[in-house]
Chain A
């Protein structure tokens, strides 16, 4: 594995005054936001950077009420959860304890514990934290099929951003590929925005998402075709249709040719781990968690003693668990920096783990539990 070059090597000069902070949190989704809140409550000075135009991560695009336990705000719509978390942060703004940078992306990590931030304006500047929590969330997987690069073929997350965050009707007739929770929910959200959904295709012999999410779209007449997939998209400048094939023991059998101006791909997420890689954090490929994920201890600390992880970037899961992991990471940072005692930290982290256990008990979480067995470690010394 190659080490990142130092800023001096890249830019030919070193930065005169490097901003310092106690805790740098990269990513302003539920994991990053709850990590920030917890750290602020424990007295730390926090810098939060988010590459998007607003805080909230995945939450701001979710119009549905969240599952989980009411303790983690289940029953509240995703975008409202984001608003609530952001509101809780406001008292800390202007107190000098919290700095928030929007439209700012952490693009590089250097062994000297320097992180390079790049702003939309083109400005690039370094920051030197004592500790860092990576909460960069996840990225969507793409599916290979002919013409999959045509405009009008978007990731499910892209559709949600366009439609629910910015209020643009993404198309008139949509086809969704993938009946996991995200595909099912996006189909429902498209109906809410007045877009016709022709069908949801699922390669497996059963829906991958939760049954109730499927029932919600079925009762509005959206078919879910099991053991079907898209065999190609049709169109020149943008998507005009698709060929749907049945998956049979003898291979794909083309079955329908439909007209559509929107195809939503939702075949899974993979953790966003570029920064962790750059920092040479020890990683492992765990299919159950969505791809390469960092090894971490019970306190969400990675093999680099100054770097912690939380949320989907530590393994694809839920907003509820992401929020708890964020709190665990910040509690651990506070302990390391001497803001709370060993005993206090242990008590708090034990309680947070109890809540994680409670959330992960279900059959539908069995994959996460298996995945964790592979990545949960104890760092020596």
Chain B
């Protein structure tokens, strides 16, 4: 028998049904803000990557402005972007960790506000690795803020990313950890 490889390449299988979204071709399945509004909205707007009909609605019930609708319970969430204030409550409440708030208003960078339930928690000012949807580190970013909107253990990390990385960065990794 030929020698077996003992390393599984991380991109062995990158496909929708192995859990990786293609932001280009799967665009119709996710909620992305309209560009003009997005560029102006202070604090940012929500991006929801929840492309499958499942019986779930905490994003809807937790949103204080009624911007998200999941009706019926099994529908894919729909966002009314005029109502979204970028408060990140849904980011912390969604059990699928599928909500992200992205602020494009700074002139030379953007801020991705993403859910985080790992250890250790980065400090404000720390530079972390920013990971894409397959866990590949794509760029470094400075942590601007760490909040816990629902006080239930899910942190929301505000990380600074270069322009153009808003729809790529979906997780962070603290440096020096394993």
Contact = CB atoms under 8 A, between A and B. Distances in A.
Contacts of A207: 17-19
Given A215-B98, A256-B8, A75 B135 contact: no
A212 B5 contact: no
Interface in B140-165: 152-154
Contact of A258 (B8, B56, B72): B8
Interface of A: 64-70, 74-77, 80, 184, 191-192, 194, 196, 198-199, 202, 205-207, 210-226, 243-244, 254-259, 320, 358-365
6 contacts: A67-B96, A69-B55, A211-B17, A215-B97, A224-B19, A256-B8
A221 B19 contact: no
B58 interface: yes
B-side binding surface: helix, strand, loop or mixed?
loop
A220 B135 contact: yes
B19 to A, nearest CB: 3
B4 A219 contact: no
A118 B54 CA distance: 40
A257 B13 contact: no
Given A215-B133, A358-B72, A74 B8 contact: no
A363 B178 CA distance: 39
5 closest residue pairs by CB, A with B: A221-B135, A214-B19, A212-B96, A75-B58, A362-B74
Dominant secondary structure of chain A at its interface with chain B: mixed
Q: Which of A214, A218, A359, A363 lies at the interface centre, i.e. has the most chain B CB atoms within 10 A of its CB? A: A218
Interface string B87-123: 0000001111110000000000000000001110000
**Which of the listed residues A74, A213, A254, A359 has the most CB atoms from chain B within 10 Å of its own CB?**
A74
B78 interface: no
B61 A219 contact: no
B25 interface: no
A215 B49 contact: yes
Nearest to B29: A211
Given A219-B133, A221-B136, A255-B5, A363 B57 contact: no
Interface of B: 1, 4-13, 15-21, 49-58, 61-62, 72-74, 93-98, 117-119, 131-136, 152-154, 170-171, 173, 178
Contacts of B178: 194, 196
B8 A223 contact: yes
A75 B152 CA distance: 10
A75 B117 CA distance: 14
A192 B117 contact: yes
Given A192-B118, A223-B11, 13 more contacts: A69-B56, A69-B57, A77-B152, A191-B118, A207-B19, A215-B21, A215-B96, A218-B19, A219-B133, A221-B10, A225-B12, A254-B4, A361-B55
Given A67-B55, A212-B97, A218 B119 contact: no
A109 to B, nearest CB: 34
A196 B135 CA distance: 13
A207 B135 CA distance: 18
A223 B10 contact: yes
Contacts of B94: 65, 75
A220 B119 CA distance: 13
A220 B171 contact: yes
Given A192-B119, A211-B19, A215-B21, A199 B8 contact: yes
Contacts of A69: 55-57, 73
Contact of A225 (B13, B96, B131, B173): B13
A75 B12 contact: no
A219 B138 CA distance: 12
A77 B1 CA distance: 47
